[in-house]
Structure 1
């Protein structure tokens, strides 16, 4: 099981950027929690820097991730500029981190491919504390500019879509197939959910009819599929 650290930037006394009646800390937290829920559905362990509106020091964010031996670190932010015309999506990795760059690219590409937001400022590197101090591949995504009227509407109204595209980017980096959430997947018993999603991800089952009595045909088919997995 992969262990992913999701960092909701700012919080508590640190509002982050403000603009168009929005506070960055609120947007970051909302999107981060939604990303985490999607990842959990894919049998991924999620650790958060914060789950409420509290202040967390930058050094503590990386420290928590390091102590947890997280596999990757993803920080969620919203951008700002004095020039209200500034807009766009950009994702950062730490300089000379090949894996960090790959992670940043997966997230950036996923958001752009979703067509939610197509103003591309590119993949960049930066000496941000959370990227520098984290021991694992890390990326920081600036979802859009809170100070731009058009961008602020995306940050306010498209949080579910942004979270889904960030999560898909993380899953793509981890080489985990995205599983659509359906009425069928919601019918799994809580104790069986992790196993069912594992079986779907491996291609052992399509997840349908989870509570029907198992037949010999289904048992043999699952075993046959398992024999093909290396």
Structure 2
């Protein structure tokens, strides 16, 4: 599977600002972390940007369309004049069944991670990146950069946010998430260990057990 990851904003466009943070920096950091998790699961990842550069919205979707990506996921932070506004929400393009399913997988995964208790829901919007992408697409607003509680999550919980988004994408793709300690081994080694555990030869804590050699 081929996943296109779009870190929102960048370069001369900082995106939302709040509590000393810039949306473009949070989006890029989380996006790169999401990509690394997906690549560990043998998912091909293409990025709109991997550095602090500016791209037009059409450039982002053109890259995804040209790459013939299977899905498009854009990562952002939210903002509001009301500093009490908080929570997570994920958007898909109106009447896109697959886009809605993708958005739901990502939204549900973030909520299940327990990073948030406030669910702002799955919504639809005529955003350019959703409208112009040829594949199922979703745009996730991770949190409100203007809210002090959400700010702390965006600042200190980027690994957890990335893992939740990645798990949501993997769920949509039908790829089972494997813990990092296991996936760092070769696939056959993981299968062999699972086989040995089923036979009662090991509990998985001592891979050099003489019974396994």
TM-score clears 0.5: yes
Matched with 2:199 is none
What CA distance in whole angstroms lies between the structure 2 residues aligned with 1:84 and 1:43? 40
What CA distance in whole angstroms lies between the structure 1 residues aligned with 2:39 and 2:149? 31
Matched with 1:152 is 151
Q: Deviations over 1:135-174 (max 9, x none)?
A: 0000000000000011100000000000000000000001
Within a 5 Å distance, the mapping from 1:33-48 to structure 2 comes to 33-48=32-47
Structure 1 unpaired stretches of 5+: 219-230
What CA distance in whole angstroms lies between the structure 1 residues aligned with 2:2 and 2:53? 23
TM-superposed CA distance for 1:204, in Å, is 7.3
Matched with 1:89 is 88
What CA distance in whole angstroms lies between the structure 1 residues aligned with 2:2 and 2:76? 21
What CA distance in whole angstroms lies between the structure 2 residues aligned with 1:91 and 1:77? 10
Matched with 1:109 is 108
Within a 5 Å distance, the mapping from 1:22-171 to structure 2 comes to 22-171=21-170
| 8 Å CA contact 2:40, 2:183 repeated in 1 | no
Matched with 2:7 is 8
Structure 2 unpaired stretches of 5+: 196-203
Q: What TM-score does the superposition give when structure 2 sets the normalisation length?
A: 0.89
The number of residue pairs the alignment matches comes to 202
Instruction: Spell out structure 1 runs of 4+ moving beyond 2 A.
Output: 203-209
Q: Deviations over 1:40-98 (max 9, x none)?
A: 00010000000000001100100000000000000000000111111110000000000
TM-superposed CA distance for 1:185, in Å, is 3.9
Question: How well do the aligned residues superpose, as a CA RMSD in angstroms?
Answer: 2.2
TM-superposed CA distance for 1:206, in Å, is 3.6
Q: What TM-score does the superposition give when structure 1 sets the normalisation length?
A: 0.82
Matched with 1:226 is none
What CA distance in whole angstroms lies between the structure 2 residues aligned with 1:123 and 1:206? 37
Within a 5 Å distance, the mapping from 1:183-222 to structure 2 comes to 185-186=183-184, 188=185, 193=186, 196=187, 206=194
